[in-house]
Amino acid sequence: MFGADHANVQPHAGAIANMGAYQAVIEPGDTVLGMSLDHGGHLTHGSPVNFSGLQYRFVSYGVTASDERIDLDQLRDLALAERPKLIVAGATAYPRLIQPEPLREIADESGALLMFDAAHIAGLIAGGVHPNPTQFADIVTFTTHKTLRGPRGGAIICRSDYAKAVDKAMFPGIQGGPLDHAVAAKAVAFAEAATPEFAEYAARIVDNSRALAAALAGHGFRLVSGGTDNHLMLVDLRTFDPDLTGKEAQATLDAAGISLNKNTVPDDPRSPFVTSGVRIGTPAVTTQGMDADDMATIADLISRALRNRSDDAAVAAVRADAAALCAAKPPYPGLDTED
């Protein structure tokens, strides 16, 4: 599916795949560059409370202040100054395309290996709507349960020269026996992701994401980086209502039947437990068959619920409208959901 020499499908999760990748190619104490958490990186990209930050010396790069896209100049400067063993690309809350070529160039210039953590976008890569990093990165990790739409799990793919080290890192290095039921489910997900229908699905995810982002902007929300190229968007709530926090928005929208999560925006003045933003994804509603018109409806519902968040009846009315939308586009049309 990704054109890799070698795959290890045993990692029980994305975090464990990253642990295996690090263990395969670097030593404890080595310097690694990773994307900073408050700019969209993952805990396993060097958070001080995570094994990654505890075992390795992570240095963070981020997005520019001007366009909120990965700051390649900063990344190059850091790579040349720090001479890391490994550069980790990939993110958990970044709405833009990540081009693998310039990262490869920076890795080569600085003598580093390149790892691409495709946890979020593996399905978009499989569907051909985002560039495949496999030929540019030394090692690629991903989850099988995000845009790939399979079972909870992880996987590592790599060039043949790292195959032995990766397999050894996963077993006996980190895990015991494989979860065979999960590996079987991954095989089903890979088979589905290799079909033309999945490629159409991946393209529709991004179309819906752009439509929802544009509709939210129309309601006065600020989109981090001005929009999205992938399955998610980061919404800065401060232009909509400076008093509204991500925490309160998440709780209100939960009550309104709309699931999303609070998320920091770049250089967020609020703590990660409160935040000034939310992160919204379109893969699930796309699976339900929703389209651009439905995205406009969802943006209306979000705006209505948040404007009227102190009015329980108004939030309940949004919840009824969200339920009606879902009833019209059921996730499992073949299933009888009557009690």
Ligand X SMILES: *Cc1c(COP(=O)(O)O)cnc(C)c1O
DSSP 328: H
When asked if residue 90 is in the footprint of ligand X (CB under 6 A), the reply is yes
Using CA atoms in the order 101, 103, 105, 109, what is the torsion angle rounded to 10 degrees?
A: -170
For residues 162 and 25, the answer to whether their CB atoms sit within 8 Å is yes
Choose the binding region for ligand X from 8-16, 290-298, 305-313, 327-335 (rule: CB under 6 A): 8-16
What are the distances in angstroms from CA 37 to CA 1, 2, 56, 159, 198?
A: 29, 27, 16, 28, 30
Distance between start and end Cα atoms, the chain: 40
Choose the binding region for ligand X from 112-120, 173-181, 208-216, 236-244 (rule: CB under 6 A): 112-120
Query: Which residue among 1, 13, 183, 244 contacts ligand X (CB under 6 A)?
Result: 13
When asked if residue 89 is in the footprint of ligand X (CB under 6 A), the reply is no
For ligand X, the nearest residue by Cβ is 14
As given in the structure block, the two tokens for residue 54 are 């505890």
When asked if residue 119 is in the footprint of ligand X (CB under 6 A), the reply is yes
As given in the structure block, the two tokens for residue 103 are 């990262």
When asked if residue 46 is in the footprint of ligand X (CB under 6 A), the reply is no
Pairing mode of beta strands 139-143, 232-236: unpaired
When asked if residue 117 is in the footprint of ligand X (CB under 6 A), the reply is yes
For residues 175 and 104, the answer to whether their CB atoms sit within 8 Å is no
Query: Which residue among 10, 23, 60, 92 contacts ligand X (CB under 6 A)?
Result: 92
Choose the binding region for ligand X from 21-29, 115-123, 200-208, 279-287 (rule: CB under 6 A): 115-123
When asked if residue 44 is in the footprint of ligand X (CB under 6 A), the reply is yes
- Burial (0-12, 13-18, 19+ Cβ within 10 Å), 121: buried
Choose the binding region for ligand X from 14-22, 81-89, 178-186, 239-247 (rule: CB under 6 A): 14-22
Q: Of the two residues 100 and 154, which places its CB atom closer to ligand X in the complex?
A: 154
Contact residues: ligand X, CB under 6 A: 13-15, 18, 42, 44, 90-92, 117, 119-120, 143, 154
